[in-house]
Chain A
Amino acid sequence: SYELTQPSSVSVSPGQTARITCSGDVLAKKYARWFQQKPGQAPVLVIYKDSERPSGIPERFSGSSSGTTVTLTISGAQVEDEADYYCYSAADNNRVFGGGTKLTVL
């Protein structure tokens, strides 16, 4: 099995840029996805293939990758972006989520 490591929390003021990292050896050879989860709701896919954005996801959400680290960037974070964010990757017969990052926009 393998692991993905995220910071437990990130805090920004509205309008600032929020960056959430996810690190793991598997990311050097496999794509990552990012999910947003608000309290009491099911997760929503916000980034796939490291940097692709599904239709309907605001342009302020972007993703990037470098080596064994992927980064979710929210440019001009808004109060409604406050949520838990999880990275995810799959390799062979394993799939794994990062531990999650609580984003506070205050």
Chain B
Amino acid sequence: QVQLVESGGGLVKPGGSLRLSCAASGFTFSDYYMSWIRQAPGKGLEWVSYISSSGSTIYYADSVKGRFTISRDNAKNSLYLQMNSLRAEDTAVYYCARDEGWLWGQGTLVTVSS
């Protein structure tokens, strides 16, 4: 079954860190570029980060640049998002997506609150 499953969300204090994972199955993960996209409660979609199929090209939204790091392990069919120096405004459901939206996971909720 072709799917993406995110994990690693939770409650974290401002200034804290969290690492999200996205497990891919049912397709050749190493063939596809991947993205992280988030959605704050009651708000619209916001693109966060992009990584090419090999991992050699990476982009970030200005809002997370210098704090978040995207990576992938093609041998483990997994995508990651290391989030440091978290802020209240980072509170959102985080989705991983293949091919900039052809396939989405169900999302994982990150809440940044004291």
Contacts and interface: CB of A to CB of B under 8 A. Distances in A.
A42 B107 contact: yes
Contact of A99 (B44, B61, B95, B104): B44
Interface of A: 1, 33, 35, 37, 42-45, 48, 54, 84, 86, 88, 90, 93-100
A95 B44 contact: no
B101 A43 contact: yes
A42 B44 contact: no
A95 B105 contact: no
A86 B95 contact: no
Contacts of B35: 95
B59 A93 contact: yes
Interface of B: 35, 37, 44-47, 50, 59, 61-62, 95, 100-102, 104-107
Contacts of B104: 42-44
Contact of A42 (B50, B59, B95, B100): B95
Nearest to B107: A42
B33 to A, nearest CB: 11
A47 to B, nearest CB: 11
A94 B58 CA distance: 11
A19 to B, nearest CB: 19
Contact of B50 (A43, A44, A95, A99): A95
B20 to A, nearest CB: 15
A35 B59 contact: no
Contact of A97 (B44, B50, B102, B107): B44
A93 B100 CA distance: 13
A92 to B, nearest CB: 9
21 contacts: A1-B62, A33-B101, A35-B45, A35-B101, A37-B45, A42-B105, A42-B107, A43-B101, A48-B101, A84-B44, A88-B45, A88-B47, A95-B35, A95-B47, A95-B50, A95-B61, A95-B100, A96-B47, A97-B46, A97-B47, A100-B45
